């Protein structure tokens, strides 16, 4: 956030009132977290294959950064626990056959968002592994969905009618 504000101070055309963020895996967790924990700055997020609760991920990975034992800090940083805080526009992308981050992590956050009566978009990438929507056969479709999401929600512009294109 400080970096964006510094750039905006140097370049007045850099509009920090409309900032979007995207990421995959841990970056997907952080992209959604931006709307939960910094909603006054981030307005739109696209989360690919996010591990939305570190208690559900590979424990060795999280222990490196968050330590042992698993304490309150795990729940405090959980997108599932904090889903009720959602502000802004969110697109969740989940690869059906993810072998790195269990797709159930996204489904848990989806359930929490529904229980909190929050609006969001969900895209399931059938047959895709961890990179689904960003790498592999579905990458062009996932990229288009992400950029269209940003165009609609940050620019307020319509995107092409992709079904009308030959």
Query: Tens digits of per-residue pLDDT, 87-106?
Result: 999 999 999 999 999 999 99
Closest CA to 50 of 108, 1, 120: 108
Query: Tens digits of per-residue pLDDT, 19-64?
Result: 999 999 999 999 999 999 999 999 999 999 999 998 777 666 667 6
Tell me which of 59 and 151 has the higher pLDDT: 151
Calpha distance 108→104 (Å, rounded): 6
- Total residues belonging to the chain: 166
Average pLDDT for 68-76: 75
Q: Indicate the pLDDT class of residue 119, thresholds 50, 70 and 90.
A: very high
3-state secondary structure 45-101: EEEECCCCCCCCCCHHHHHHHHCCCCCHHHHHCCCCCCHHHCCCEEEEEEECCCCCC
- Say if pTM beats, i.e. exceeds, 0.95: no
């Amino acid at each position: 956030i400080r970096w964006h504000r510094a750039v905006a101070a140097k370049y007045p055309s850099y509009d920090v009132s409309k900032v979007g963020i995207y990421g995959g895996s841990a970056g997907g967790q952080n992209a959604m977290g931006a709307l939960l924990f910094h909603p006054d700055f981030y307005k739109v997020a696209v989360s690919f294959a996010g591990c939305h609760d570190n208690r559900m991920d590979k424990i060795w990975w999280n222990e490196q950064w968050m330590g042992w034992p698993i304490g309150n800090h795990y729940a405090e940083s959980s997108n599932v626990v904090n889903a009720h805080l959602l502000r802004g526009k969110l697109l969740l992308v989940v690869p059906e056959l993810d072998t790195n981050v269990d797709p159930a992590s996204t489904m848990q956050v989806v359930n929490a968002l529904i229980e909190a009566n929050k609006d969001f978009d969900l895209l399931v990438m059938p047959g895709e592994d961890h990179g689904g929507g960003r790498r592999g056969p579905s990458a062009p479709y996932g990229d288009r969905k992400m950029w269209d999401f940003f165009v609609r929600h940050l620019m307020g512009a319509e995107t092409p009618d992709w079904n009308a294109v030959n």
